[in-house]
Chain A
Amino acid sequence: MFVALRDLRHARGRFTLMLVVIILITFLVTFLASLTAGLSRESTSAITGLRADHLAFAMPEPGAEPDFTASSVTADQWRTWADAAGVVSADPLGVAMTRARSATTTSSVTALGIEPDSTLLPAGATGLAPGTVLASASAASDLSVRAGDVVDIAGREFHVGAVLDTEASFAHTPVVWTTLEDWQAIGARSSSATGDATATVVALTLDGSARIADTDAVAGTATLTTTQARSAISSFSSENGSLTLMQAFLMVISALVVGAFFTVWTISRSADIAVLKALGASTGYLLRDAIGQAALVLVLGVGLGTALAAGAAALLGGAVPVVVATTTTVVPAVVLVLVGLVGAVLAIARITRVDPHAALAAH
């Protein structure tokens, strides 16, 4: 790095420009990753936060994928799963997006219908009974209600039994929990449910001995893990796919920008490289020097960009759905450095083709 560090100091204008570009790209990627995770959480936390590891959907039409809006399971399907080997718990779960109205405002909510004694009841929650709902913190906030208030959900009045200190959202709407019986009565799912529909899915906790495919075949269901079940939320698939694609494009753009910069930089110092080779610098030394230089610029740029994006995300956390975590900061940063290095290495590799004889001819 003897020459590389001095080149950085000497050509500080060019490298500062490159650094700014890397910082901006990193800021975009990191903020987008934080936003993607935040939107994902708003879309799926009601499902990923369930105390269950699998969800059994009604078997979709041929060629279709399981979907919360199209699924409705019967009591027979539920019992088939409840009686199957390797099933620790099987609880019917109703999922319905609907409108709720309080004394002061109206808001979209997702009603989760569960049995009052179900394992799906959020940790620490009590008081779920017919005619009552348990409101998540954001649902209570959106509706401006407290425990004891009355809300109208799909034309039926419910008392707010408790406001839970739990964040749960489904397709960007906050969750309220009702009894399964009330959920069925709300009728929010009447358009897709058959006459004997009990719930939307069966939430399962399985041990290692469960034979999922066999039970699916008997019950006429399609079972997914709760993580896989995120793709059964239509808004999640399209939203997450678009944002992830944008991140991937930014990564590729980053590699191209870094590669282009170091291509021009390497070409511009071809005469110096020829002289260094003529003086006795090995190709390995020159590659280490140049790649070290690229790595330094990348790590510095990505580090600053990540810090800025994480800071901005933390400041905007109340207004924008963002998640600042290792997966949304460190992971994108490492990927950016690696793809940037790939671009830089491909550009710097032309060092191997510089002929030291050129040093004699240069003037």
Chain B
Amino acid sequence: MDLHLDHITLVYPDGDTTLTAVDDVSLTVPAGTTTALLGPSGSGKSSLLAVAGGLTRPTTGVVRIGADVVLDPTTTLAAATRTRLEQIGIVFQAPQLLASLTALEQLELHAHLRGPRPATVEVQAMALLAEVGLADQAHKRPAQLSGGQRQRVAIARALIGSPRVLLVDEPTSALDHERGTHVVELITRLSRELGAATLIVSHDASTLGSVDGTVRMLDGQLDSATRGPVDAADLVH
């Protein structure tokens, strides 16, 4: 299912005034494609990602997955949490793996959060770890993995629940160019295989050769070239 961000505006209190972090942004990310959201620091791209993931409520606008409105200004914390659990995978800037869990357990965690653990979860998790090239590292904890390996575990963790939407925040910021490019290629490939609508926030365009589309943000708005309702499918390289 496609991800639709419809007229999203996000306003923060800023002392006695307010700060508009995202200003009436509309964007569609088709299912099975990866769209990169580029822009300088403070442009509002991470804020837009936070709204898309239900980590913060939009001031106005709605987030839809397919035809369903999943997040809007009235969405409760519990509803947003449930939406993330069931429909959205997130990869953070730092891998943010739990230090006490092995790579395999990082993936099994998702099944525990959803309720009774299905018997097949370990098989699924091992298959996904194999997809990201870490089958032989399954029983290692984060401290025993390299930075690139940790990032790949984080990607697998975000995809274990077969989410409809994958949100990725600066996945290459701690990696060199080559490993960063490989990570983005991995995300793009897996998104395509799983049919997830993927939005990658990045400030480094050089690693984004494999993505399906690119949009730019500046001062809370999509830049003039892409402003207005944007279908990333129209922006394929």
Residues of chain A having any CB pair with chain B under 8 Å? 2-3, 6-7, 9-11, 271-272, 275-283, 285, 356-357, 359-360, 362-363
Given known pairs A2-B109, A356-B55, the reply for A275 and B92 (CB within 8 Å) is yes
Q: Would you call B105 an interface residue if the criterion is a C-beta within 8 Å of the partner chain's C-beta atoms? A: yes
Interface of B: prevailing SS: helix
**Which residues of B lie under 8 Å from residue A7 when comparing CB positions?**
100
- The residue of chain A having its C-beta at the shortest distance from the C-beta of B201 within the complex is A360
Query: Is A275 touching B50 in the complex (CB atoms < 8 A)?
Result: no
Given known pairs A9-B100, A280-B81, A280-B84, the reply for A360 and B93 (CB within 8 Å) is yes
- The residue of chain B having its C-beta at the shortest distance from the C-beta of A5 within the complex is B100
**Which residues of B lie under 8 Å from residue A276 when comparing CB positions?**
98, 113
- The residue of chain B having its C-beta at the shortest distance from the C-beta of A7 within the complex is B100
Query: Is B55 touching A363 in the complex (CB atoms < 8 A)?
Result: no
- The residue of chain A having its C-beta at the shortest distance from the C-beta of B100 within the complex is A10
Query: Is B82 touching A280 in the complex (CB atoms < 8 A)?
Result: yes
- A281 CB to nearest chain B CB (Å): 5
**For the complex, what is the distance from the CA of A360 to the CA of B171, rounded to whole Å?**
11
Given known pairs A356-B55, A357-B56, A360-B46, the reply for A275 and B81 (CB within 8 Å) is no
Query: Is A275 touching B96 in the complex (CB atoms < 8 A)?
Result: yes
Given known pairs A357-B56, A359-B55, the reply for A3 and B92 (CB within 8 Å) is no
Q: Would you call B212 an interface residue if the criterion is a C-beta within 8 Å of the partner chain's C-beta atoms? A: no
Contact of A3 among B50, B77, B109, B141 (CB under 8 A): B109
Query: Is A275 touching B98 in the complex (CB atoms < 8 A)?
Result: yes
Pairs across A and B, CB under 8 Å, 7 listed = A10-B100, A10-B141, A280-B86, A281-B113, A282-B113, A357-B56, A360-B49
Give per-residue flags for B97-110: 1 if the beta carbon is below 8 A from chain A beta carbons, else 0. Answer: 01111000100111
Contact of B81 among A10, A272, A282, A359 (CB under 8 A): A282
Query: Is A278 touching B101 in the complex (CB atoms < 8 A)?
Result: no
Contact of A279 among B49, B56, B113 (CB under 8 A): B113
Q: Would you call B85 an interface residue if the criterion is a C-beta within 8 Å of the partner chain's C-beta atoms? A: yes
**For the complex, what is the distance from the CA of A279 to the CA of B111, rounded to whole Å?**
11
**For the complex, what is the distance from the CA of A9 to the CA of B141, rounded to whole Å?**
12
Name the residue in A279, A281, A285 with the highest tally of chain B Cβ atoms < 10 Å from its Cβ: A279
Contact of A285 among B88, B96, B113, B169 (CB under 8 A): B113
**For the complex, what is the distance from the CA of A100 to the CA of B110, rounded to whole Å?**
78
Interface of A: prevailing SS: helix
Known: A2-B105, A2-B112, A282-B113. 7 other contacts (CB 8 A): A271-B96, A278-B90, A278-B92, A279-B90, A356-B55, A359-B90, A362-B92
**Which residues of A lie under 8 Å from residue B90 when comparing CB positions?**
278-279, 359
Query: Is B100 touching A360 in the complex (CB atoms < 8 A)?
Result: no
- B97 CB to nearest chain A CB (Å): 8
**Which residues of A lie under 8 Å from residue B100 when comparing CB positions?**
3, 6-7, 9-11
**For the complex, what is the distance from the CA of A279 to the CA of B84, rounded to whole Å?**
7
- B174 CB to nearest chain A CB (Å): 8
**Which residues of A lie under 8 Å from residue B49 when comparing CB positions?**
360
Q: Would you call B132 an interface residue if the criterion is a C-beta within 8 Å of the partner chain's C-beta atoms? A: no
**For the complex, what is the distance from the CA of A189 to the CA of B172, rounded to whole Å?**
94
Name the residue in B113, B141, B157 with the highest tally of chain A Cβ atoms < 10 Å from its Cβ: B113
Query: Is A362 touching B94 in the complex (CB atoms < 8 A)?
Result: yes
- B170 CB to nearest chain A CB (Å): 9
**Which residues of B lie under 8 Å from residue A272 when comparing CB positions?**
98-99
**Which residues of B lie under 8 Å from residue A281 when comparing CB positions?**
81, 85, 113
- The residue of chain A having its C-beta at the shortest distance from the C-beta of B157 within the complex is A279
Query: Is A363 touching B85 in the complex (CB atoms < 8 A)?
Result: no
**For the complex, what is the distance from the CA of A363 to the CA of B82, rounded to whole Å?**
25
Q: Would you call B195 an interface residue if the criterion is a C-beta within 8 Å of the partner chain's C-beta atoms? A: no
**Which residues of A lie under 8 Å from residue B225 when comparing CB positions?**
none
- B207 CB to nearest chain A CB (Å): 19
